[in-house]
Structure 1
Amino acid sequence: MIVPALVLALAGCNRPADGVAHDVATAPADAFLAAIAAHCGKAYEGRIIEDTPAPTGKDPFAGQRLVMHVRGCEDPAHQLKIPFHVGDDHSRTWVLTRTPHGLKLKHDHRHADGSPDAITLYGGDSTPPGTAQRQQFPADADSVAMFRRADMLASTHNTWAMEIEPDERFVYELTRPGGRRFRVAFDLAHPVALPPPPW
């Protein structure tokens, strides 16, 4: 039978040379990472499709061109680095890393001189199993501790998510209890000119 044979084949591949478990339980993480890696070397423009509640103070995204660049692809089955450019601000890079249990998302924030921001490398591990189209990342303990030290208490409840509809769109999402919901959708059908390197 085809299905049991496929399951056995996947289960038999759970100890590759990289030491990361690739089995039936974590196969969605591999498929998700591969779907993004298919866009390595390309950039795409995005737009905010949801931002609730509406910002009351200065909004760093208002009126800015939003571009994602699938750039860091040296080992695409293990890690991808995706700079997220907001106008002339090149400080943000999403780092997706394969782990034994799924994926880890970290936000690498840097200043123009390349030095790390005080609030950087926050994120979390994916909630298993996820799907080939969507992965969610609740804030991990290190991120919660960082947010508490910075008196960013609302952020301690952050959950980030990423979605991909192959060759159609990529979505980055931030949610937290109380109704906070921020989503940016990128058009994967129409690559744009490459932005400058991230900071």
Structure 2
Amino acid sequence: MSKSEADFYSLMSSLCGKTFVGSTVYPDDPNHDFAGKKLVATVKHCNHREIRIPFSVGEDASRTWVLTPTPQGLLFKHDHRHADGTPDRITNYGGFSGSYKGEAVTGTKQFFHADDFTANLIPEAKSNVWMMEFIPETKELVYYLERHQKPRYKAVLKLQN
């Protein structure tokens, strides 16, 4: 892992046990699945092997973001589960950290490019790039997704005291 990836992992580890609450910022579409729903992400289950961040959308707690340090770099995956805990058909998609549109990853901001597993699982998502950022000044966690280098989704969540 690069220093910036390790720094980001360390930063997220330092937030273990903390909860962020927010909402969808983009798209501004009342028909979007997440529109008007409270978003909650709690940094949990932190160790040197992985960080698991359950992410709920309203009452739907089926999603968990997973950060894993690997020899190839920092890996970000989306773990989707049914209420009984069994994996969803569409799960474990994501990819490795890397610079994007000329912007390098940093200790507070990472870009994750869709990997081959994701491209095979969700062919239309092969161009996906997810961004996760913690802004220390505002204590906000930003989750952002582009597809075909165009904005697709953005959520901003504020650290709760």
Give the TM-score of the pair, scaled to structure 1: 0.72
Q: Alignment length, in residue pairs?
A: 156
- The residue number in structure 2 matching 1:166 is 136
Q: Which runs of 5+ in 2 are unaligned?
A: none
Distance 1:178 1:80 in 2: 27
- The residue number in structure 1 matching 2:43 is 70
Alignment of 1:63-102 (within 5 A): 63-73=36-46, 75=47, 77-102=48-73
Structure 1 contact 35–166 (Cα < 8 Å) conserved: no
* CA deviation vs aligned residue, 1:7-28 (integer Å, no higher than 9, x gap): xxxxxxxxxxxxxx6xxxx111
Identity %: 40
Distance 1:141 1:101 in 2: 14
SS at structure 1 position matched to 2:105: coil
- The residue number in structure 2 matching 1:140 is 115
Higher percent of residues as helix: 1
Higher percent of residues as strand: 2
* CA deviation vs aligned residue, 1:107-143 (integer Å, no higher than 9, x gap): 0000101111100000001115621011111110011
The answer as to 2:10 corresponding to 1:39 is: no
SS at structure 2 position matched to 1:157: coil
Task: State the shift of 1:178 in Å.
Answer: 6.0
* CA deviation vs aligned residue, 1:77-113 (integer Å, no higher than 9, x gap): 3310001110110000000000123200010000101
| 2:22 counterpart letter in structure 1 | G
Give the TM-score of the pair, scaled to structure 2: 0.88
Rg larger in 1 or in 2? 1
- RMSD value, Cα: 1.8
Q: Which runs of 5+ in 1 are unaligned?
A: 1-20, 192-199
SS at structure 1 position matched to 2:122: helix
* CA deviation vs aligned residue, 1:61-82 (integer Å, no higher than 9, x gap): 1121110010111x1x331000
